[in-house]
Amino acid sequence: MLQTTFNGIITGVIMTLPALAVTLLFGVLKFPNFAVGAMMTVAAYMAFALNAQLGWPLLPATAAAALAMGTLCIGIDHVTFKPLRERGGITLMVASLGLGFILENIARFAYGNSARSFAIELARPFRIADVRMNQEQMITLGVSTAAMILMYLLLTRSPMGRAMRAVADNPSLALVRGIESPRVIRWTWFIAGMLLAVGGVLIGMDRALEPPMGSNYLISVFAAAILGGLGSPLGAFVGALVIGVVSELSTLVVPPNYRIGVPLCAIAVILIFRPQGLFGHPYIRK
Amino acid sequence: MSHPLSPPAEILRATGLHAGYGAGDIIKGVDAALGQGRIVTIIGPNGSGKSTLIKTLAGLLPARQGEIELEGQRLNELSAPKRVRAGIAYVPQEYNVFRNLTVLENLQIAREFMGAGRSHHRVLDDEVAGLFPELGTHHKTQAGNLSGGQRQMLAFACALTVRPKVLMLDEPSAGLSPKYMSDVFDKVKRVNAMGVSILMVEQNAREALRISHTCIVLAGGRVRAVAPASEVLGMKDLNSLYLGDAQATLH
């Protein structure tokens, strides 16, 4: 039970970063980006190329992949989403589905279907209070916590973070408060891309690198963001932990391969009983 | 256009302005001017294009025809954020604060983005802070949790963080209790005394005109009359002037 809870926390912690990316993008751009899974995959393979193929240590490889993915996301937005911006959320969502297929298959084309792993040294797992932990899990905890603290500071203490929240809150008021939304949108994509890249590397470390690695997490990540309240960064964090722990704990009562049903049920239950999520605000149509 | 009352110098001017949503124009060739240091109130029946006019001036709607000038400089091509930095502050009617942000964050955003890189230690200078004493005690409150009147004051304060040349207000007294309503008009007067020219759209015509210099009557997307506010206030049939159609439908 304790072990399962711990594993659930790790699964949840891995999802906090992509869930935060989903929630930031939704807040500012008002559409659910279903390409986040494939974006994580592509970024993980970028880090893999630098780490396993060029021999970089994983940390700088991840940092470089994060910067590259952030920049790539700005480019992707420019060619894919920007021309469709006035067409509404559904169009953008469908575009993101298509983009996801393309990105995932680029990764498949480049690296094939077989599972690969990062070049990191294996360390013996250790035990604390009967819970087995390994080094990768500790790295995951540390990196995700640090990223969440940085994001919190960015969103509350920096002018750009405040501007992102302002645009998410009320885009037309943001304009008359002098906020240039194209700039805010570019920063949002850059930050989301970096979060997705780090998330992708963490998934690759936890499991293995394979083309569907990111999209496997898609439903859980969306369940986390919806549970927390789309658009709420704190909600994404709490939602990811809850979905992670509940999914893992469910394996105590249902066969493990039904685990994926948990986030799906969660989405259904939340949308019926509390569509705004835990920390979201009811949507008011103006 | 020749004015019945020629104001000192025009700070903001619209000439032959057309704008609207979708296929049709809502404002159809509006000529209007705001004199330096003046308070001008636009009145008119519902759907006469008052809000459309003010949104077009703020840059939220494109002008389909006509000119907008601030101190003689053409503004048409400037985006809404650039017009703000050029010196036109705008307070929308509703949703005029960021509800999920705190009072302090609302003020910080205004300070950071409305001015062209001006930096100050405090978010509000003494004169503006003095106008809104109650905001100081609510810095950490989420703006969405403020009362309607307090939100209006916050929106006002945000627009004033960088001394604008022109302040445009869309129905500043809408939905407020009588106490706050007179408070709002009192603030408008004091802001004007600080040297800010004010253009406002108002349904509570009498209260607004009492502090205004000039009244513009808008109906059917066109300017029907421009007159000194005192003259309009003195008219017995003020209601018929702008409520003409609305009153007919009441009976």
Residues 6+ apart with CB under 8 A from A122: none
Report the pLDDT averaged over residues B58-63.
92
pLDDT at residue B247, rounded to an integer: 39
Q: How confident is the model at residue B248 (pLDDT cuts 50, 70, 90)?
A: very low
Q: Residue for token digits 């004033």?
A: B160
Tokens read off for B217: 């009557």
| Count of other CB atoms within 10 angstroms of residue A45 | 24
Tokens read off for B45: 């029946």
Residues B65 and B16 sit within 8 Å (Cβ to Cβ): yes
From A117-121, A163-167, B26-30, the region with the lowest mean pLDDT: A117-121
On whether any CB of chain A is under 8 Å from the CB of B168, the answer is no
B34 or A279, which is more confident? Answer: B34
Residues A196 and A71 sit within 8 Å (Cβ to Cβ): no
From A56-60, B8-12, B104-108, the region with the lowest mean pLDDT: B8-12
Tokens read off for B66: 């006509």
The two beta strands, A126-128 and A131-133, are antiparallel
| Count of other CB atoms within 10 angstroms of residue A84 | 13
Residues 6+ apart with CB under 8 A from B76: B63, B67, B68
B80 or B243, which is more confident? Answer: B80
**CB contact (8 A) between residue A177 and residue B59:** no
On whether any CB of chain A is under 8 Å from the CB of B109, the answer is yes
Range with the largest mean pLDDT of A146-150, B55-59, B171-175, B243-247 = B55-59
Beta-sheet strands, E only, within chain A = 126-128, 131-133
pLDDT at residue A190, rounded to an integer: 97
What backbone torsions phi and psi does residue B91 show, to the nearest 5 degrees? Answer: -110, 110
Size of interface A-B (CB pairs under 8 A): 73
- Does residue A71 carry a pLDDT above 50? yes
Q: What is the DSSP letter of B200?
A: E
| Fold classification of A2-119+126-273 (topology level) | ABC transporter involved in vitamin B12 uptake, BtuC (1.10.3470)
**CB contact (8 A) between residue A176 and residue B79:** no
Determine the distance from the C-alpha atom of residue B57 to the mean position of all C-alpha atoms in its chain, rounded to a whole number.
10
With beta carbons under 8 A apart, name residues in chain A contacting B110. 177-178
A286 or B35, which is more confident? Answer: B35
Residues B10 and B33 sit within 8 Å (Cβ to Cβ): yes
d(CA A28, CA A189): 10
d(CA B161, CA A155): 22
Report the pLDDT averaged over residues B69-96.
92
On whether any CB of chain B is under 8 Å from the CB of A178, the answer is yes
SS3 assignment, position B88: strand
Residues B111 and B161 sit within 8 Å (Cβ to Cβ): yes
Closest-CA residue to B122 (of B107, B142, B102, B103): B107
Q: How confident is the model at residue A279 (pLDDT cuts 50, 70, 90)?
A: confident
Report the pLDDT averaged over residues B88-95.
91
B189 or B119, which is more confident? Answer: B189
With beta carbons under 8 A apart, name residues in chain B contacting A180. 79, 81
Q: pLDDT, tens digit, for every residue of A145-168?
A: 998 899 989 998 999 999 999 998
pLDDT at residue A186, rounded to an integer: 96
List, as ranges, residues 114-143 from B with C-beta within 8 Å of A: 114-115
On whether any CB of chain A is under 8 Å from the CB of B164, the answer is no
Q: Which residues pair with B65 in a beta bridge?
A: B18
- Does residue B22 carry a pLDDT above 90? no
Mean pLDDT, chain A, whole residue set? 90
- Does residue B1 carry a pLDDT above 80? no
Q: Residue for token digits 């559904």?
A: A90
d(CA A178, CA A197): 31
Q: What is the pTM of this model?
A: 0.87
For an interface test with A, which of B95, B102, B111, B139 has the most A Cβ atoms less than 10 Å from its Cβ?
B95
Tokens read off for B185: 């008009």
With beta carbons under 8 A apart, name residues in chain A contacting B114. 177-178
Report the pLDDT averaged over residues A168-184.
92
pLDDT at residue B197, rounded to an integer: 95
With beta carbons under 8 A apart, name residues in chain B contacting A286. 95
B65 or B179, which is more confident? Answer: B65
pLDDT at residue B238, rounded to an integer: 63
**CB contact (8 A) between residue B101 and residue A166:** yes
Vertex A162 angle, CA A159 and A166, to 5°:
130
Tokens read off for A237: 């964090």
pLDDT at residue B235, rounded to an integer: 78
- For chain A, give every domain's residue range: 2-119+126-273
A36 or A276, which is more confident? Answer: A36
